[in-house]
């Protein structure tokens, strides 16, 4: 049962969960889930660029997602459209353009399903290095910007007035978002990356009363989801991404009972 590819997928998934836990908390706190979706959709364009120019997929996704994020900021400044409309515009445009380009690259054999929903068979040793190396860098950078980012999440003006630099923290966080999408695409798939960021965090919110606990429970939830999801993926031959997200959903549903208990205790 423990074939090599499975161990690789498991190690990769665990690495991803360690990073999506804390990042997911900020996605939920700062209401960025749709923004995460937009970056993830633009990842498809990144993949096609990687195939066309024969560069590393993760690096290509990282570059394209960052570019999309910059375009978003420019559009927000220079148009009168609301944020969610711009996000929708960019998300679907990037997805559409990506799929059109794939159509032109007919000479390349290409598994679109694996790209959209994750493929544990596809994880190789290079991916492990990228996930764990990139993941470590993301976590270190997040630790460095934690204070200004967290303070400005609670109240932007308070953070700025008292000498922190919320704008810089926000810009760096955006880059971290692009990076996590780049490294987790093989395991979770681009359509479900935001789910991996949000659902374990939502579960964690139900059972925690401090930000620190929420981050820890979010990581634990992510790890459990990855392990449960990958085993069931192997068992039932289902795509890895949906299996992981379904496992996360299960944990979320269980956590709802905890809320009910707490509310009953209060009454």
Q: Which stretch binds other proteins (CB under 8 A): 52-60, 62-70, 91-99, 202-210?
A: 202-210
Judged by CB under 8 A, the residue of 158, 254, 256, 259 near other proteins is 158
Task: Decide: is 214 part of the binding site for other proteins (CB under 8 A).
Answer: yes
Residue 28 vs 94, nearer CB to other proteins:
28
Total residues binding other proteins (CB under 8 A): 25
CA distance 216 to 235: 29
Task: Decide: is 203 part of the binding site for other proteins (CB under 8 A).
Answer: no
CA distance 38 to 95: 9
CA distance 49 to 126: 19
Binders of other proteins in range 29-68 (CB under 8 A) = 29, 31
Judged by CB under 8 A, the residue of 91, 159, 180, 190 near other proteins is 159
Task: Decide: is 162 part of the binding site for other proteins (CB under 8 A).
Answer: yes
Task: Decide: is 160 part of the binding site for other proteins (CB under 8 A).
Answer: yes
Place of tokens 């492990």: 128
Task: Please tell me what DSSP assigns to residue 120.
Answer: G
Task: Decide: is 154 part of the binding site for other proteins (CB under 8 A).
Answer: yes
What residues contact 125, with CB distance under 8 A and at least 6 apart?
Answer: 8
> Could you tell me if 124 and 70 are in contact, meaning their C-beta atoms sit under 8 angstroms apart?
no
Task: Decide: is 263 part of the binding site for other proteins (CB under 8 A).
Answer: no
Binding track, positions 114-153, relative to other proteins; x by CB under 8 A: ---------------------------------x--xx-x
CA distance 46 to 94: 9
Task: Decide: is 209 part of the binding site for other proteins (CB under 8 A).
Answer: yes
Using left for φ > 0, alpha for ψ between -120 and 50, and beta otherwise, residue 216 falls in alpha
For the bound state, the minimum distance from the C-beta of residue 24 to other proteins, rounded and expressed in Å, comes to: 12
CA distance 43 to 32: 17
Residue 42 vs 153, nearer CB to other proteins:
153
> Could you tell me if 201 and 27 are in contact, meaning their C-beta atoms sit under 8 angstroms apart?
yes
Helix (H, G, I), strand (E, B) or coil at 86: helix
Biggest CA–CA distance in the chain, Å, is: 65
Q: Which chain residues interact with other proteins by CB under 8 A?
A: 28-29, 31, 147, 150-151, 153-155, 157-164, 205, 208-214
């Amino acid at each position: 049962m423990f074939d090599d590819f499975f161990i690789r997928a498991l190690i990769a998934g665990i690495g991803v969960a360690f990073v999506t836990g804390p990042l997911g908390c900020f996605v939920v706190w700062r209401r960025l889930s749709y923004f995460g979706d937009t970056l993830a959709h633009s990842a498809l364009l990144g993949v096609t660029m990687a195939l066309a120019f024969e560069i590393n997929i993760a690096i290509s996704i990282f570059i394209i997602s960052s570019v999309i994020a910059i375009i978003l900021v420019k559009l927000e400044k220079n148009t009168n459209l609301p944020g969610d409309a711009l996000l929708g515009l960019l998300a679907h445009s990037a997805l559409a353009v990506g799929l059109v380009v794939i159509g032109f690259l007919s000479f390349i054999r290409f598994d679109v399903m694996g790209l959209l929903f994750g493929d544990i068979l596809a994880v190789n040793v290079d991916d492990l290095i990228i996930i764990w190396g990139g993941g470590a860098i993301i976590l270190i950078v997040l630790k460095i910007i934690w204070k200004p980012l967290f303070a400005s999440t609670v109240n932007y003006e308070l953070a700025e007035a008292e000498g922190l630099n919320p704008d810089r923290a926000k810009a760096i966080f955006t880059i971290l978002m692009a990076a996590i999408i780049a490294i987790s695409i093989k395991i979770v798939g681009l359509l479900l990356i935001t789910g991996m960021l949000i659902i374990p965090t939502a579960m964690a919110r139900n059972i925690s009363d401090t930000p620190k606990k929420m981050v820890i429970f979010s990581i634990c939830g992510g790890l459990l989801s990855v392990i449960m999801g990958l085993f069931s993926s192997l068992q039932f031959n289902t795509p890895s991404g949906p299996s992981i997200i379904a496992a996360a959903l299960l944990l979320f549903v269980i956590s709802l009972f905890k809320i009910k208990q707490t509310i009953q205790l209060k009454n």
